[in-house]
Amino acid sequence: MARATQAIINLHALRENYQLAKKCAANSRAYAVIKANAYGHGVLPVANALSAMADGFAVACIEEALELRQGGILLPILVLEGAMDEQECQVALDLDLELVVHQSQQVRWLDNKLGSLRIWIKVDSGMHRLGFAGTEVPALVSELRNMACVSQVQLLSHFACADEVGHPFNEQQLQQIQILSPMKLPWSMSNSAAILSMPEAHGDLVRPGLMLFGASPLSGRAAGDLQLANVMTLQSRVIALHAIGAGESVGYGQAFVAKQDTSIAVVAIGYGDGYPRSARPGTPVVIAGQECPLVGRVSMDMITVDVSRCQVKLGDTATLWGVGLSVDEVAKCCATLSYELFCQLTQRVKFQYLGR
């Protein structure tokens, strides 16, 4: 029997989540953000599943856009970090991509090119990661409009604190974009969190990422309460069961020492699959439908779970997150976010797609 570690991806739920983003931002187009291998979910199956309904896609870099075009995706593709060199500008023209420009060198690379690129000027509205200051935008717009390869100029920015509803910095950042509204350019500002909580920030294009994958983008809000449907369920199986006595230890470093007689289930998943080594003792694992606590250290290929209070047998299915166990809750136990848990799954995990 093959190693049982698998991620089951519910593409029907993915489509429902995209529709929810569209419903929240009914007057905006929505490009599904599928960078980093669609947040670890598999970029081509995800893109294909959304192709019939999405307005377009957004990725981080040209390589990711190329993978989509080579996979037969014809919809608009926005490259969020823009070109990394002049050659990539030509690739963007050849592949009919939409490019962000966030620094002046990227503008210079467009000199003397021919074609019809849709350009998004990244405006630094306060995050101070990428982008031009608002005061630089009017001159830049004129310059870009005079270029032979530019067919459209639009504005794009990104929130630093949108996950915290009502954070004063959200309004401050939005104001920085609103100052530019006399230019009457199409604009895009909203990630998942702002789609769900800041209708005034929806603009002409929204950029849903995490919410498509069914995890909550808002701190303190459960995905279910936001009507998000679970997409990924990460599963494996119990490959060994042990009864240990009080005072006996489990795993590397003797990190868990039993206080009383304890039943331990060994599940075939570890940091070699992307299950985080930082998962603290007590992180929930659902085995045969029962929630049980992780004990001891996460190894490369295995974890150990205290199943003393549960009915568990060899071969039972263990859910690490997904249906019946919120990825956001597991992420909290690992001092991280669902974004990172999704992205760090390794190639050893087998992916199975439902609802293609």
Ligand X SMILES: Cc1ncc(COP(=O)(O)O)c(C=O)c1O
Single out the residue of 331, 323, 322 nearest to residue 219, CA to CA: 331
CB of 290 to ligand X, least distance (A): 32
Q: What is the nearest approach in angstroms of ligand X to the Cβ of residue 210?
A: 4
| DSSP 8-state assignment for residue 229 | P
Choose, from 23, 252, 313, 350, the residue flagged as catalytic. Answer: 252
The residue (of 22 and 237) whose beta carbon lies closer to ligand X is 22
- Residue at shortest CB range from ligand X: 209
Taking the least distance from each CB to ligand X, the nearer of 97 and 286 is: 97
* 35, 60 Cβ separation under 8 angstroms: yes
Please list the residues that pair with 102 across neighbouring strands. Answer: none
C-beta of 306 vs 328, nearer to ligand X: 328
* Residue 252: active-site member: yes
CA distances from 189 to 173, 293, 306 (A): 9, 40, 45
Name which of 210 and 244 has its Cβ closer to ligand X. Answer: 210
Q: Spell out the residues 6+ positions from residue 178 whose beta carbon is closer than 8 angstroms to its own.
A: none
- Sites of contact with ligand X (CB under 6 A): 33, 80, 158, 191-193, 207-211, 217
Catalytic choice (18, 22, 31, 35): 35
Instruction: For the chain, give the longest Cα–Cα distance.
Output: 78
The least distance separating ligand X from the CB of residue 189, rounded to whole angstroms, comes to 9
- Exposure of 302 in the CB half-sphere (CA atoms within 13 A): 15
Q: Which residue has the tokens 């263990």?
A: 318
CB 339 within 8 A of CB 216: no
266: three-class secondary structure by DSSP: strand
Smallest distance from ligand X to CB 223, Å: 13
- Distances in Å between the Cα of 149 and the Cα atoms of 58, 95, 103, 338 are 21, 13, 17, 39
Q: Which is nearer to ligand X, 60 or 268 (CB)?
A: 60
* 353 is known as an active-site residue: no
The least distance separating ligand X from the CB of residue 339, rounded to whole angstroms, comes to 7
Q: What end-to-end distance do the CA atoms of the chain give, in Å?
A: 26
Active site residues: 35, 252
